[in-house]
Structure 1
Amino acid sequence: MNLKYLLYTALLSLIGLQSCDKGFEELNTDPTKTTEAYPQQFLANALINTISNNMSRNRSFNNELMQVTVSLGDSDGKVFRYDFRRSWSDHTWNGHFSQLSNYKDMYAKALNEINFSRSYQAISLIMQAYSYGVLTDTYGDVPFTESNLGRDSLILEPKFDRQQDVYMGMFKMLDSANTLLRTGATAIEGTADPLFAGDLTKWRKLGNSLFLRHLLRASHKEEVKAYVIPKIQEILQTNTSVYPIMTSNDDSAILKWTGLGAYVSPYAGTRVQDFRATAICSFFIDYLRDTNDPRINIPLYGKNGTNRWGIATYGGDFVGVPSGYAAVSEDYSKMSYFFSSDQNSGTGNTLQTDPMTGILMNFSEVQFIKAEAALRGWITNGTAESFFYSGAENDIKLWTPTWADNIKDHLMASDREWKTDGSFEEQLEQIHLLKYFALFLVDMQQWYEYRRTGYPVLPKGAGLKNNGEMPARMQYPLYVQSSNPTNYKLAVQQQGADEINTKVWWQKP
């Protein structure tokens, strides 16, 4: 076989290979499917992960700090003793920054000409503001303007924005979301929205209610008062038609755990013996018991021995454990749990399976925000007293919808009625005691509000660490120091030492 023939054969082979490759990509592409993601495909998964993250940290961190529960044991690292390790910081940081990528991708896809949707743009902005709010209220200064840009802009070491700037950025997001939903909203798929089933009016109310939450948190800061106070007044009084907010429990932002598919409560995966290993704190249970609160006294679904929150009794009474108890000091084997002793026999739900535990924000919180605004003289279209009673009543009815007692008579029976002649501080304390119960299960809002106001007044046990001082923040995750060292150091310089007692911007006088 001569050389010319070999070359000719090789040339034909190359041409054949090119011919075989031609059209290969088209032949292997399913014409009935698209490789382009749609904005609605991000929403459900991001919401489930966001709320699951919140529920985890609410149960193990917030509830321990804020005397809802008490972990039993004498080992180190007990949150209820203000003694926790830096590793506690990772969960919230990782969880919310991860979901911010999903919310940002949703926004980018909703800008696409084919998928263009002002509605999904607005929902993305609301949820971005929500996650940034949790992050900055937990750590202080955090990446904001440069966060989550590693993939598209190769910013792998984002700067940390000052908390004041993060807040102003959140306000802009929420105002923009309201405008988008007011001027150009188009219907979205109800099946893609596990929070409101596509009801854009409720999304708009959530955005503006979150707006109020953060405006109130920054309201005492002189450098932003000129914006914050008038905006609170605009939302609550002077421009209410442009800024609708939650007006009933039906507007509450709660992801319902149906127990089907992906909608299984993260609590349901916890072993029963582990879930009940945490006792209820005496501060929390004593108030409910002493006020004859229906949330622990009305049987769930008419079944004896159970109640909506699954609180078990001991010897027929509700017995709590004092928070901050000294190690090796007491026998706390006799106490109540967030667990029904009848759960294993199938006589009712507990918090492990209750569909209502996935709370982003509820109507009662809005009423207590209005109560404080009225008390401070910022609004006059309602009284602090009326909003106080409305918040208290609707919080009870959120969990026990059939409750029909008069809220004033109910509170008066235990000497908890509104103190008409009380001082400003006495009335503010009243608002925040009941707001504390309204914030039950709502991420770490009890902790944030305590840090802002000092209410409710929590008893201090003899076993508290940290000189008995409530931690003011979580430390940054350890890996942030090594993965973003330059900006980490700058953040410490501008905010203060990376320690739990360093106050964030809105905590400082």
Structure 2
Amino acid sequence: MTNNINRIFIAGLVMMAVSCKKDLAEINKNPNATENPQPDYLLTASQKISADLYWGADNNFNSALLIIQHWAKIQYTEPDRYIFSNSSFTSLWNTGYAQSITNLNTIIQLPDERANVNYKNVALILRSWVFSLLTDAYGDIPYKQAGDIKNNLTPAYDTQKEVYFGLLEDLKKASAALTTSGNAIAGDIIYSGKIDRWKKLANALRFRIALRIADREPDKAKQTINEVLGDAGGLISSNTETAQFVYSTSPQQNPVSAWFDTRDEFRIAKTTLDKLTALSDPRIPVYANKPTDASVTTYVGVPSGLTTSDANNLGFAKTSRPGSYFFAPQSPAVIISYAEVLFDRAEAAARGFTTEDANALYNAAITASFNQYGITDGTIINNYLAQAAVKYDAANFKKSIGEQKWIALYGQGLEAFAEWRRLDYPQLTPAVAGVLDKKIPVRFIYPGSEQSLNGNNYKLAVANQGADNLLTKLWFDRY
């Protein structure tokens, strides 16, 4: 693991060489830059960059986790009140395109003698995941022309429908092309070169995207899901197959860990803690710490969207930080869990897309989430599942699955944000001192730089999608 992480430092030079425009590279060559980027170094770097992008402050715990009310802020509460600008969401866009996608494209385009078929298709799967994060957050985005600044310095935007449909084809192609006989890969921190698991991840992402479009394109969603279930590559089928980037120690630790080393402004949101408490959920000690003030013997959540003064008045020592699990240096960035796959299968069955047992899959999903955090006692799990508020309700599957999936996705801000918009559960109350007239954001704003650097295409996207603000619903968010 340490050797793989250390590749990132070398890959920094690699990325400098491959992400610059060709004309600038010719004019101002760096004699210390790598002329022949190696796929294993690029793969390690791309995985680390993408995991940090997904799990770090700007896109996760200082935005999406606040919107979805998993976490709340005890100070500097502006983001918790939905006070964002067109510079607030530049990280996902700029890093996603300029580093993650550009470098994954480099692997895909390397000559066959330098990057075998598995390198290229693992890169295609990762690129599809990054594109899905971008379209889930912004809506219409550059896709077909993205990551090729030599030919498309101002790439056109594709509609969200076109992006999702394209990603389904990319993932299907990648899964089919991966081969488990020969063609070993190195530099893979997520699955340690296990190609069979990359096939499962590709299928799991296809399943996820199929449900993303289910309210708009049910026939396409059903077709894709049944293709996946019939695919010999299979789906993620245990917690050991969960797709995740496992961090190392400082300075390559989990970005949440790095943040908490020097700052202390996040707490578990009262919304989440109240729900967990009402259900006597055994994940509470994982999701939250007790206050450091010894006189406070219970967990204490912070209401979402307080003013800074009101939040401060609750007391830093008298409120509960997120659980230590999430800011441990080696805590993983979960891309897609076994629990999520089971919830997805339950929903597909509930929608009539498959003949599987939705109730059994729903219970298995909750159990998998418990197991993910080391909760394996059968009595505890069965007592939880037996509660009236937990039992699967076939007449309102979106409520049952939406609420339990929201709990299971704790810490995965971007994914929880997308699923909450799609399923419309749990039914959240807007921030206490929110600035959006008692409404909750339903998308990220495009970076302000797009208006100046890619203005014509930006304007076309806004004309197609709607006003570039936090309250414009995206195509997939039908209801």
- TM-score interval, smaller chain: 0.7 to 0.9
Distance 1:177-1:423 versus aligned 2 partners, 3 A rule: closer
Aligned partners of 2:432 and 2:120: how far apart in 1?
51
State how far apart, in whole Å, the 1-side matches of 2:384 and 2:112 are. Answer: 56
Q: Report deviation, 1:267.
A: 2.3
- 1:452–1:250 distance in 2 versus 1, CA, 3 Å: same
Amino acid at match of 1:386: A
Structure whose alpha-carbon radius of gyration is higher: 1
Alignment of 1:262-273 (within 5 A): 263-272=252-261
Q: Does 1:312 align with 2:290?
A: yes
Structure 1: state its 5+ residue gaps. 1-28, 298-307, 341-348
CA contact (8 A) 1:294 1:403 kept: no
2:101, 2:127 within 8 Å by CA — same for their partners in 1?
yes
2:63 aligned residue? 61
1:390–1:502 CA distance, 2 compared to 1 (3 A): same
Indicate conservation of the 8 Å contact 1:100/1:148, yes or no.
yes
**Residue 487 of structure 1: CA displacement?**
1.1
Task: Give the AA of the match of 2:109.
Answer: A
Matched-pair contact (CA < 8 Å) for 2:370–2:376: no
Per-residue Cα deviation, 1:136-187 (whole angstroms, up to 9, x for no partner): 111111111111111x32x211111111111111111100011111587622
Matched residues in 2 for 1:328 and 1:443: separation? 25
Matches within 5 A, 1:381-460: 381=356, 383-400=357-374, 402-405=376-379, 407-412=381-386, 414-419=387-392, 422=393, 424-425=395-396, 427-460=397-430
Question: Within 1, Cα distance between the matches of 2:472 and 2:390?
Answer: 37
1:177 aligns with 2:165: no
- Tell me, yes or no, if the aligned pair for 1:82 and 1:468 is still in contact at 8 Å: no
AA paired with 1:370? R
May I ask how many residue pairs the two structures share in their alignment? 441
CA shift for structure 1 position 93: 0.6
CA distance in 2, matches of 1:226, 1:482: 39
Task: Tell me, yes or no, if structure 1 residue 288 matches structure 2 residue 283.
Answer: no
- C-alpha separation in 2, matches of 1:201 and 1:483: 41
| Aligned 8 A contact 2:268 2:288 in 1 | no
| Amino acid paired to 2:263 | D
Shift of 1:283: 1.3
Amino acid at match of 1:424: A
Structural mapping, 1:359-374, within 5 Å: 359-374=334-349
Structure 1 partner of 2:240: 250
| CA 1:485–1:174: 2 relative to 1, 3 Å | same
Look up the match of 1:49.
49
**1:279·1:336 contact (CA, 8 Å) conserved in 2?**
yes
Question: Quick one: which amino acid aligns to residue 89 of structure 1?
Answer: F
SS at match of 1:501: coil
Q: Label 1:65 to 1:339 Cα distance change in 2 as closer, same or farther (>3 A).
A: closer
Cα separation, 2, equivalents of 1:428 and 1:165: 26
- Per-residue CA distance 1:383-413 (angstroms, 9 max, x = gap): 111111111111111111554435232233x
Task: Measure how far apart 1:81 and its partner are.
Answer: 2.2
The yes-or-no answer on 1:336 pairing with 2:319 is yes
Partner Cα separation in structure 2 for residue 337 and residue 289 of structure 1: 13
Match of 1:322 among 303, 307, 313: 303
The CA distance in 2 between the partners of 1:99 and 1:180, in whole Å, is 22
Q: Does 1:161 align with 2:158?
A: yes
The structural deviation recorded for 1:503 is 1.5
The CA distance in 2 between the partners of 1:265 and 1:55, in whole Å, is 8
Deviations, residues 310-343 of structure 1 (Å, cap 9, x unaligned): 6124611011122234675573226433357xxx
Matched, 1:122 2:104: no
1:460-499 aligned within 5 A: 460-499=430-469
Deviation, 1:470, is 1.8
How far apart are residue 94 of structure 1 and its match? Answer: 1.2
Partner of 1:220: 215
| Aligned partner letter, 2:108 | Y
C-alpha distance in structure 1 between counterparts of 2:271 and 2:374, whole Å: 22
1:380 aligns with 2:341: no
Q: 1:290 to 1:148 in 2, by over 3 A?
A: same
CA distance in 1, matches of 2:306, 2:358: 36
More off after superposition, 194-203 vs 468-477? 468-477
Q: How far apart, in 1, do the equivalents of 2:476 and 2:256 lie?
A: 32
Residue 18 (structure 2) aligns with: none
- Asked if the contact 2:326–2:411 (Cα under 8 Å) also holds between the matched residues in 1, the reply is no
Question: Do the aligned partners of residues 282 and 339 (structure 1) sit closer, same or farther apart at CA in structure 2, a change above 3 Å counting?
Answer: closer
- Aligned-residue RMSD, C-alpha: 2.5
SS in 2 for 1:165: helix
Give the Cα–Cα distance (whole angstroms) in 2 for the partners of residues 476 and 449 of structure 1: 20
Q: Equivalent residue for 2:27?
A: none
- Alpha-carbon distance, 1:360 to partner: 1.0
SS of 1:279 mapped into structure 2: strand
Displacement, 1:294?
Answer: 2.7
- Name the amino acid aligned to 1:268: S
Aligned to 2:19: none
Q: Which amino acid aligns with 1:390?
A: A
Is contact 2:267-2:322 (8 Å) kept? no
Q: Which amino acid is 2:341 matched to?
A: V
**Inter-CA distance 252–503: structure 2 relative to 1 (3 Å threshold):** same
TM-score using structure 2 length: 0.85
| Residues in 2 aligned to 1:40 and 1:274: alpha-carbon distance in whole angstroms | 34
CA distance in 2, matches of 1:441, 1:461: 19
Q: Output the amino acid matched with 1:324.
A: G
How many percent of aligned residue pairs carry the same amino acid? 25
Q: Determine the C-alpha separation between the residues in 1 that align with 2:350 and 2:215.
A: 14
Give the whole-Å Cα distance in 2 for the aligned partners of 1:252 and 1:350.
17
Q: Is the 8 A contact 2:60 2:413 kept in 1?
A: yes
SS of residue in 1 equivalent to 2:157: coil
Contact conserved, 1:206 with 1:245, CA < 8 A, in 2? yes
Structure 1 residue 416 displacement after superposition: 3.1
Tell me the equivalent position of 1:15. Answer: none
Give the counterpart letter for 1:337 in structure 2.
S
Distance change in 2, residues 1:366/1:339 (3 Å): closer
Q: Distance in 2 between matches of 1:279 and 1:309?
A: 10
> Which one is further off, 250-259 or 227-236?
227-236
